[in-house]
Amino acid sequence: MENQLYIGLSRQMALRRQLDVVANNVANMNTAGFRGERTLFEAALEAGGRKPTDRIAFTIDRSTYTDLRAGAFTETGNPYDVALDGDGFLSVQTPDGVRYTRDGRLRRDADGTLVGTNGYPVLDDGRRPIVIPSDSSVISIGSDGLLSADGNVIARIAVSRFDNPQMLKQTGDLLFEPGEGMEARPAPDTRLVEGKVERSNVQGIVEIGRMMDLTRDYQAVTRMVDDGQDLLRSAINRLGKSS
């Protein structure tokens, strides 16, 4: 009887984790450059009776991975905004080191440095911050990453890719941190589209439907656990009266 409770609790924990992930996806479905997350689970079979074939399946929350499918592009008209058409990432300098992002909402700060929405400098292909002259009036960004001011080339925006992008860790602020041993490589096949940004790849209707299904599953498991507790309580009461 206790096995039923353990199985129910393991499933509840897994469903709670799934609900947290889906809720975060829904909260960011309008965030530019956001990548939805998914969860992976595993069923662990344990002996559950006298016979070798009597098995109990416990749900184990194995890991969370990022859905790297591209999102749709939205036109902004801002010459600093860029969308990445391909599997590349922009490089930004943070206090914790170089991080990577698909959020192409760029701007020039008070010092003339090209920065992202979080204020971190965007790097060129030499891993240096890009500084735009203060007297520049016309800014253009080519599909190859060349940034020009008033017709003069200033720098080439670095666009990087990874051999195994699933190993990237989404750290917040729409940034990705490479895993141990991962090396950023140039991404010549990724094209920059000026005046547009990439939207989140989260499909709102799908995520809300998934949240409703998870909520119903959680309620069903809760009822199962409650029924198991009631049966255990009833058995204890009967045994107490018999003794």
What tokens were used for 71? 């999102």
User: Strand, coil or helix: what is 182?
Assistant: coil
Mean of all residue pLDDT scores within the chain: 84
* Mean per-residue pLDDT, 175-179: 91
Per DSSP, which regions of the chain are E strands? 37-47, 55-66, 73-75, 82-85, 89-94, 97-101, 107-108, 114-115, 139-141, 146-149, 152-156, 159-161, 169-172, 175-177, 185-186, 191-194, 196-198
Residue ranges per domain, the chain? 2-68+202-242, 73-198
How far separated are the first and last CA of the chain, in Å rounded? 21
* Mean per-residue pLDDT, 67-82: 91
Is residue 10 predicted with pLDDT exceeding 50? yes
pLDDT in tens, 45-64: 444 445 544 445 666 666 77
71 touches 198 (CB < 8 A): yes
Confidence at residue 62, expressed as pLDDT on a 0 to 100 scale: 64
- The percentage of residues in the chain with a pLDDT greater than 90, rounded to a whole number, is 48
Pick from 37-46, 81-90, 101-110: least confident: 37-46
* Mean per-residue pLDDT, 176-184: 90
User: Strand, coil or helix: what is 141?
Assistant: strand
Is residue 114 predicted with pLDDT exceeding 90? yes
**Which range is most confident: 12-21, 116-125, 208-217?**
116-125
pLDDT in tens, 30-44: 888 888 988 876 665
Confidence at residue 54, expressed as pLDDT on a 0 to 100 scale: 46
Confidence at residue 136, expressed as pLDDT on a 0 to 100 scale: 86
